[in-house]
Each structure stands twice: as structure tokens, then as C-alpha cells.
Amino acid sequence: MNKVSELYIKRTYNELLHRIQHIGIALQKQRTKAMQSSEIYDLTKTDTPSIGEAEDAFKKWNCTILTAFRRKEGLSAEENFELNLKRNAELKTKMIEQNLKFRSVNGCYREANWEKPNVEICFFATNIDEEGNSLSPEEKILTFFSKIYRLAEYYEQDCFLFTFPGVNRVAFLVATNDDGRKYFRSDIKFAGPLFTHVPDIGDWTDCSDGRISFRLKGMILKGGTGNKKFKIGEGDLFDIDSYQPDGLIVIRVDTNDDDELKNACHNYKGDIPLVKRYFMKENQTEAEVHEKIIRALKVLKDKRCKRIGFHCSASIDGSYLKGAKVAYETIQQWAKRNDKKFDLIVINDIYGDYSKVLNE
């Protein structure tokens, strides 16, 4: 197992801070559902918290959910479960030794055609001291983050969930091995806002009185592009009620990978037009990216679409960041020529590439 350096962890944490700050600023301009629960997270308990307790914890403290469960090839389901119970017992001991405060929860995943969900026993950990005070100075939050990172890394987890305190209650997934980084195309992935009492489809966490989940529903719109007609969007491109597009564009590499974007395109049944374009190889030239985008935009312009939801994932010289930069510049150029033809373009920043381009 290859461990990353402390500098790498600090850089990942700083990127996380930057993303949450920008999302927080954007959410100040959008309606955030007020927290109704009057429950207080009980620091004396070790069993599964209620939904109200979890909401209280998310509001007050940095929180994380992690596990030592991992499937080992060659073992039966029963053997895997017994092994993972031992791994979790070891993780629990390590967390106690490091003065981490936590309670047990079940992490679940089920697809619609499954009779039962996959269940992993997890730990809901909070960044607090013995008296329940938040360990809020910057270096102490980083210490908490680093402890969780190292534990997830040691137990070969693809990622762990991490939140920052506040009424927004949004979360990120932090990759801790190469599989996670490859899937996220970076070190972190936005997990979305908190939803409570969710159905038992997809992924969720069991509380004592219902299910909670951080999901990419809705669209969080961020500015910073220098043009009122351009927004960077964090969320679900296909949740059209949240930002009211009348046309959608998805441009991506045509692979057989079972990724979320591919599935979302396949399952889309909406009334507004969806323009799908594909790159047939892993790496593109600037000219290829430019041409795909211009042709896709022309389709929606000819359909008189004024509000466009857009996502392009393109790799140039092995870099999706370069691809995002070319895509962004292409849209800017198109917008100058067609200023009166559209009202808004929302660039859906699934992987955080466009945010990085704007901050260069």
C-alpha cells in the first residue's frame, strides 16, 4: 500500500476548503432549507444516532463516516463479513486510541432490482473534545481530517465522507487510494446536500429512525466567471426544475465504464432536448474539443434554446484540467458571437475541473 505524504493530505484538505467556501457563498444566494430538528446529538451514547441528532452534529461540527469493510476476492459472503467485523473492531480500537468520538451506523446501497441492500457497518465520527466542544482552530480540523484520512488509507478504503459545520449540510467524498482517485478523477468529489427520510434506493446511512443521504439533487450555482450569463454548477445536470434549462449538452469519452454520468444520460427521459456527443479515444486535441462543443451548441441554438445546461469531460495530453480550460474558452468565444441567442449557460462542474480553471 502506497501512503501519501502529509503535504499531500494538507493540499487535499486545502482544496476541500476552497470548494466548500465557494459552495457556501453560492448557497447564501439560494434558499437553504431550514433545519427543523430540536434534537441534540448525545455525546454519551455509542449506538446509532437519530436523524435529528445527525442533523445537529452536521450543523455543529466537522463529521465523517468511515469503515474498514472491504471485499476480499476468494472469500464467501459469510467469510468476508466475519473478516470485516474483525477489521472494524481493529479500526474501532485505533479510533479510541486517537481520542476520536464516534457512534455506529450502517452504510447501505441497493439498486432498484435488488431484494436486499449491501450493508457495511460504519462509524459516524465528530470533531469534538470530551466536553463536546468543536475542535475548530484550523490546525485542529486538519489534524482530525488527517487522522481520518490515514485510517481510511490504512484499511484500503476508496474514500470517506467528510462535512463542514453549518446550516448548508453538504458533504464531500475524499479519495484515499488510486481506485478512488481514478473514479473521482481527483482527490475529492462533491457528494451533495443532506436529504433525510430518503427511499431505500441508491446509497444511504441508516439512522435509528430513518435514512439519510447526501445526494447530487438540485443545482448549486456559483458565479466568478466575469459574465452574468455564465454560472458554474455543482449538482445534478438533469434536475432541470432546480435551474430551469431548456436544453442540455453532455460531451464525454465513450467508454464502457459504469459511471454516474453515463447512467444519467442513459436514463434521461425528460422533455427538453439532450445533445450527447462522444470522444472515441481517451485523449483529444484542442481542435477536436473545440469542434465537438461548437457543433453541440449549434444544435441547441437552432432549436432556439436560451438556457443551456452543459458538461464536457475532455482529456488533452492526459489532463482533464487542460480539457476543461479549452472547453471553457470555447464557450466564451461562442458566447461573444451569439450573445443575443442565449440567456444562460450553466457549466456542470462534476469533477471540479472548471473551478480549478477559474482559479488559475
pLDDT per residue as tens, the chain (360 positions): 679 999 999 999 999 998 888 887 777 666 555 556 679 999 889 999 999 999 999 999 999 999 999 999 899 989 999 999 999 999 999 999 999 999 999 999 998 889 999 999 999 999 987 766 776 777 789 999 999 999 999 999 999 999 999 888 899 999 999 999 988 888 999 999 999 999 999 999 999 999 999 998 888 888 878 888 999 999 999 999 989 999 999 999 886 555 778 888 888 999 999 999 999 898 999 999 999 999 999 999 999 999 999 999 999 999 999 999 999 999 999 999 999 999 999 999 988 899 888 877
CA atoms within 13 A on the CB side of 170: 27
Q: In what order do the strands lie in the sheet with 247-253?
A: 219-222, 230-235, 344-348, 307-312, 247-253, 274-279
Domain ranges within the chain, ordered by starting residue: 6-214, 219-358
Provide the whole-model pTM: 0.89
User: Which of the four CATH numbers 1.10.3720.10, 3.60.15.10, 3.10.310.10, 3.40.220.10 does domain 219-358 have?
Assistant: 3.40.220.10
118-126/63-66 β-pairing: antiparallel
Q: Which residues on neighbouring strands pair with residue 316, listed in sequence order? A: 319
Per this entry, what is the length of the chain? 360
The string of DSSP codes covering 275-302 is EEEEESSS---HHHHHHHHHHHHHHHHH
Q: Looking at residue 351, what is its pLDDT?
A: 86
The string of DSSP codes covering 157-212 is -SEEEEE--STT-EEEEEE-SHHHHHHHTSSEEEEEEEEES--SSEEEEEETTEEE
Closest by CA position to 288, among listed 300, 276, 279, 299: 279
Pair 343, 304: CB distance under 8 Å: no
In the chain, which residue ranges form alpha helices assigned H by DSSP? Answer: 6-28, 51-60, 77-97, 138-154, 178-184, 260-267, 286-302, 320-337, 353-358
222/26 Cα distance (integer angstroms): 5
> Hunting for cell 462534476 — which residue is that?
350
| SS3 call for 315 | coil
202/112 Cα distance (integer angstroms): 8
